[in-house]
Every structure is written in C-alpha cells, then in structure tokens.
Amino acid sequence: MHSEIRAYHEDAGFFAAWDFASNYRDGESYVLLAEKMTTVISGPKTTMTLIYHYKSSYLRFAFTLTQDSPRVDVQTFIDWHEPNVSLKVKFPVSVQTSLAQCQIQFGVIDRPTHSDDSFALPKMKYQHITGSTFLIKKLALL
C-alpha cells in the first residue's frame, strides 16, 4: 500500500466539498504524480519535498525525519483553484483502530476510521489515532 493523492470530479449539490456521492469512486478521477522531488540533509534532519500540479493548482508535501526521533513530520501546502474537484489524500499507516479523536468547533469527539458513508465531517486542526504501539497525530495550522 502506498500514498496517493487523487482528484475526484464532484457533483455534490448543496453540500459541495463535504457530501460525496455514494459512488464517487466509480466516476471520473485522476491520480496526481509528483513532478519534482528534492532531498535536503541538514545536520540531524533529512527532508524530502514532493511537488505536484493539477491544472491550475499547486501542492507541496515536505516529509522530515530527525535523527533519533520516532516521528515523521509532514508539512503540506496546497494552493487549490479547481471548481467542482475535491482531493483525497491517502497516507496508509500501520495502526489498527476503529476510532479516531477529532477536534471540532465544540471540542473533541470520537469518529469511526472506516469509510462506510460518503459524508465527510469537518475536522478542525487536530486528529489523533492510537494503536497498540503507534500514535498518529495530524495537526493543521490554518
């Protein structure tokens, strides 16, 4: 299993960007491929940066490993200009759990990690997923 960035044509109607049609995976989509990859080693840190373009939009992902740290830091920058197109980014992880803790406007709630429905509920800046030996935290600074 590998990471994937996929653009989907969106016919969501009233809840555009949140409510995907139940069969959206069967429709038109495009897998983005990295156009450029750079690696910078600076002391104890190594950063790999991937650059993507989709039509008029630009995406940059920087993955940083620090010596003696169990953590991978991921910085994301997206300049998105495509109407009626939504992105789904998949970073597979080795955590087996049925729930993730997600920050919402009223605090933190547990949400299922499966994809049994197509309605993407908004997460604010924080998502926390814990397994028996792994911890994954996603933090978006807007």
- Any long-range contacts for 134-137 (C-beta under 8 Å, 24+ apart)? 134/93, 134/94, 134/95, 136/93, 136/95
What is the value of pTM for the model shown? Answer: 0.70
Pairing of strands 126-130, 99-104: antiparallel
| Domain-wise residue ranges, the chain | 94-142
Question: For position 142, what pLDDT does the model report?
Answer: 38
Sign of CA dihedral 116, 111, 141, 135: negative
Q: Could you report the average pLDDT of every consecutive run of 10 residues in the chain (142 residues)?
A: 79 64 77 96 96 96 92 88 83 73 75 63 56 53 40
Question: For position 67, what pLDDT does the model report?
Answer: 96
